[in-house]
Chains A and B, each alone.
Chain A
Amino acid sequence: MNHMEQEKLLKELDSSRSFAERLKACASYPLYAQAVETLQMNITRRCNLCCRHCHVNASPDRSEEMSRLDMEACLRAASRPEIKTLDITGGAPEMHPHLAWFLQEAAGMRKRLLVRSNAAILLDKKYEHFLDIYAKTAVEVVVSLPSLHRDRTERMRGADIFDRIVAALRGLNSRGYGKPDTGLVLDLVHNPVGAFLPGAQQSLEEEYKTRLRRDYGIDFNRLYCLTNCPVGRYLDFLKRSGNLEQYIGLLKDAFNSAAVESVMCRTTLSVAPDGHLFDCDFNQILDLSLSSDASAHIRDFDYEKLASREIVVRGHCYCCTAGAGSSCQGVLQK
């Protein structure tokens, strides 16, 4: 489905018990940003994998990537002291020709710097040098490992991926990632492999730590549990498998007004590969532009306007307020 078809479908599903109505009921509508503390840069749509849950529809066939000029604009924007975190994602960020340069520049800014990697790419000869670049720049590495069960992870991310992720995690461990007193942070991401919500993050983290150490000798720092957002390929899966209405109902039933306060769009700004700005990368995929009074492109970055902008909300936003709440940093309420 293209972004217009996705938005139309989500609009239909949001016609009853709409997200905006729920926000009104808890006196949180319109929803406004509180600050811009995190700049999440989606630097490329290209990826060596083609995962079934990928909400940005990344794949080896995609070619969109952020220009060097726009990456420089991101660095300028991030020089604002209010911005504490640079969160680099894709696609596979390693496939961007300027990632190494960017990490070098960003590492000198003394901000929290993290890269979301599929890890498997780090086994590829062409990209294995990033293991050393990551360690040298002390960037936090966040790796998606949807399940501890090989079959589930491979159903979601492709054949033979489980062993490749395990091998890459061992490579990161060998450089000190995930090990005590190294300062090198290795976090994992869990997404439900199907049409259900993630369990308690703490329980799952304990399970991941125990099993990865026992079965593979792997250590990591934190597990982030993410609720799958009904956009992109995951929306296609929900529709095709006949789970769409039930899943949306599940998200609506699990609405937690307490999570609204800390939803990530209130402190995060998402930069698309073409430099356009969005409230989050889900809105980016649905092409839901920022509210009209905020600057729309990273080259026109205006902190004051962006830090107090009205957030554009739709039905898919229920995924961030379900249960304990969900964000790119895991649950909102620990």
Chain B
Amino acid sequence: MNQQYYETEDLQDFSKIGEFAPEQGKKFFDYYLSSTSAGKLTEREKALIALAVATVRHCPYCIDAYTNKCLSLGVGSDEMMEAIHVGAAMVAGDTLAHATQMRKIVKQKEM
């Protein structure tokens, strides 16, 4: 057994994640493919969304996969970085929005 939690080669294992639960695995992949393929949004737009989510979620496999997919689709590095800034801004905004709880409690408790 490998001693590392994250191995680059493990990206290739993604297609096998249905192992031990093939029915759910198949349903997941059907859903995954239909969600990430071109629809009302283009394949390019979806790849950028996926890259932003992958980065926010800190998934090294997905960052690898979707950076390569964006490159393959001719997405510029400036466009990829813009998408990641959207993700970063959302995380910052989401964090600050939770400060409301803190502010409410402080105002409730302080004399």
Q: Which residues of A contact B (CB under 8 A)?
A: 147-149, 152, 190, 192, 194, 196-200, 203-204, 206-208, 253
Nearest A residue to B79 by beta-carbon distance?
A149
Which residues of A have CB within 8 Å of B73? 199-200, 203-204, 207
With A200-B43, A204-B74 known, 7 other A-B pairs at CB within 8 A are A148-B74, A149-B76, A194-B71, A198-B72, A203-B38, A203-B42, A253-B12
A199/B12 in contact, CB under 8 A: no
Q: Which residues of A contact B72 (CB under 8 A)?
A: 192, 196-199
Residues of A contacting B76 in the complex (Cβ-Cβ under 8 angstroms)? 149, 152
CB pairs A–B below 8 angstroms (8 shown): A148-B74, A149-B74, A152-B76, A194-B71, A196-B68, A196-B72, A199-B43, A199-B72
User: Considering the chains assembled together, what is the distance between the CA atoms of A152 and B73 in angstroms?
Assistant: 13
By beta carbon, the residue of chain A nearest B69 is A199
Overall SS of chain A's interface: loop
Q: Which residues of B contact A190 (CB under 8 A)?
A: 74
Cα A196 to Cα B74 in complex, Å, equals 11
Q: Kindly report which residue of chain B lies nearest to residue A246, judged by CB atoms.
A: B8
Q: How many positions in chain B have a CB within 8 Å of any CB in the partner chain?
A: 12
Cα-based distance from A23 to B14 in the complex (angstroms): 25
Least CB distance from A194 to B in Å reads 6
| Alpha-carbon distance A182/B75, docked complex (angstroms) | 32
Complex Cα distance A148/B71, Å? 12
Chain B residues close to A by CB (< 8 Å): 12, 38, 42-44, 68-69, 71-74, 76
Q: Which residues of B contact A203 (CB under 8 A)?
A: 38, 42-44, 73
Give the distance to chain B from A231, nearest Cβ to Cβ, in Å.
21
The minimal Cβ–Cβ distance linking A270 to chain B, given in whole angstroms, is 27
- List the 3 shortest-distance A-B pairs measured between CB atoms, nearest first: A199-B72, A199-B73, A196-B71
Closest to B8 in A: A246
B38, B72, B76 pick with most chain A CB within 10 angstroms:
B72
From A149, which residue of chain B is reached at the shortest CB distance?
B76
Distance between B36 CB and nearest chain A CB, rounded to angstroms: 12
The residue in chain A whose Cβ has the minimal distance to the Cβ of B9 is A249
